[in-house]
Amino acid sequence: MLGVWRLQLLREVARRGTIRAAATALSITPSAVSQQLRILEAEAGVPLLERSGRRIRLTDAGERLVRHADTITAAITAAESELATSQHEIAGTLRVAAIPTAARAILPAAIAALGRAHPRLRLLLRDLETSESLPALLGDEVDLAVVDEYDEATRILEPGVDLIDLIAEPILVALTPGRSGDTAPVPLASLADERWIMDTEASGICRAVTRACRGAGFEPHVRSNCRDYSVTIALVEAGLGVAMLPGLALRDRGIRARVLPVDPPLERRVRIAVKPERRAHPAVGAMVAELQRIAAATGPVQIP
Res 84: pLDDT:
57
- Helix, strand, coil percentages for the chain (3-state, nearest 5): 45, 25, 30
The number of angstroms, rounded, from the C-alpha of 65 to the middle of its chain's C-alpha atoms is 28
CATH code for the domain defined by 94-304: 3.40.190.290
Say which DSSP state 194 is in: S
| Residue range(s) occupied by CATH 1.10.10.10 in the chain | 4-83
Could you tell me the CA-to-CA distances from 70 to 75, 77, 106, 237, 265 in Å, in that order? 9, 11, 32, 49, 41
Res 183: pLDDT:
78
Answer whether 270's CB lies under 8 Å from 99's CB. Answer: yes
Res 237: pLDDT:
95
pLDDT, tens digit only, all 304 positions of the chain = 566 667 777 777 777 777 787 777 666 777 877 787 788 778 777 787 777 766 778 778 778 877 776 676 666 666 665 565 556 678 888 999 999 999 999 999 999 999 999 998 999 999 999 988 888 888 788 999 999 999 888 888 887 889 999 999 999 999 998 777 777 899 999 999 999 999 998 888 999 999 999 999 999 999 999 989 999 999 999 999 999 999 999 887 888 999 999 999 999 999 999 988 888 888 999 999 999 999 988 766 666 5
Q: Going along the chain, which residue ranges are E strands?
A: 49-52, 55-58, 92-98, 121-127, 144-149, 162-175, 186-187, 195-198, 221-225, 243-246, 258-260, 262-263, 266-274
| Residue range(s) occupied by CATH 3.40.190.290 in the chain | 94-304
Res 202: pLDDT:
82
Give the whole-angstrom CA distance, residue 58 versus residue 41. Answer: 12
Res 83: pLDDT:
60
Give the whole-angstrom CA distance, residue 49 versus residue 13. Answer: 10
Using only C-alpha atoms, the chain has a radius of gyration, in whole angstroms, of 23
Res 151: pLDDT:
87
Say which DSSP state 242 is in: B
Answer whether 95's CB lies under 8 Å from 143's CB. Answer: yes
Give the whole-angstrom CA distance, residue 256 versus residue 246. Answer: 16
Return the amino acid letter for 214: R
Res 300: pLDDT:
65
Name the packing angle between helices 282-298 and 60-85 (round to 10°). 80
Query: Is domain 4-83 annotated with CATH 1.10.10.10?
Result: yes
Return the amino acid letter for 179: R
Exposure b/e, 69-94, CB count within 10 A at least 16 = b: beeebbeebbeebeebeeeeebeeeb
Nearest to 170 by CA among 298, 265, 291: 265
Strand partners, 173: 244, 260
Res 61: pLDDT:
78
Give the whole-angstrom CA distance, residue 294 versus residue 152. Answer: 27
